[in-house]
Homo-oligomer: A and B are copies of this chain.
Amino acid sequence: MLRFLQKYKQVFLYAASLVALLLLLQVLQYKFLLLSHSFEIYILCIAILFTCLGIWLALKLVKPKKEIETIVVEKTVYQQELTEADKEAMERERQKLGLSNRETEVLQLMAEGLSNQEIAERLFLSLATIKTHSSNLFLKLDVKRRTQAVEKARQLGLIA
Residues of A bordering B, CB below 8 Å: 18, 21-22, 25-26, 29, 39-40, 43-44, 46-48, 50-59, 62, 66, 69-70, 73, 76-78, 110-115, 143-152, 157
Contacts and interface: CB of A to CB of B under 8 A. Distances in A.
A43 B58 contact: no
B78 A76 contact: no
How many copies the complex holds: the figure is: 2
DSSP majority for the A interface? helix
Given A59-B62, A150-B150, 5 more contacts: A22-B47, A55-B57, A69-B73, A73-B73, A115-B144
Nearest to A46: B46
A93 to B, nearest CB: 12
Kindly name the residue among A25, A48, A54, A76 whose own CB sees the greatest number of chain B CB atoms within 10 A. Answer: A54
A23 to B, nearest CB: 10
A18 B59 CA distance: 21
Contact of A57 (B51, B76, B78, B147): B51
A131 to B, nearest CB: 15
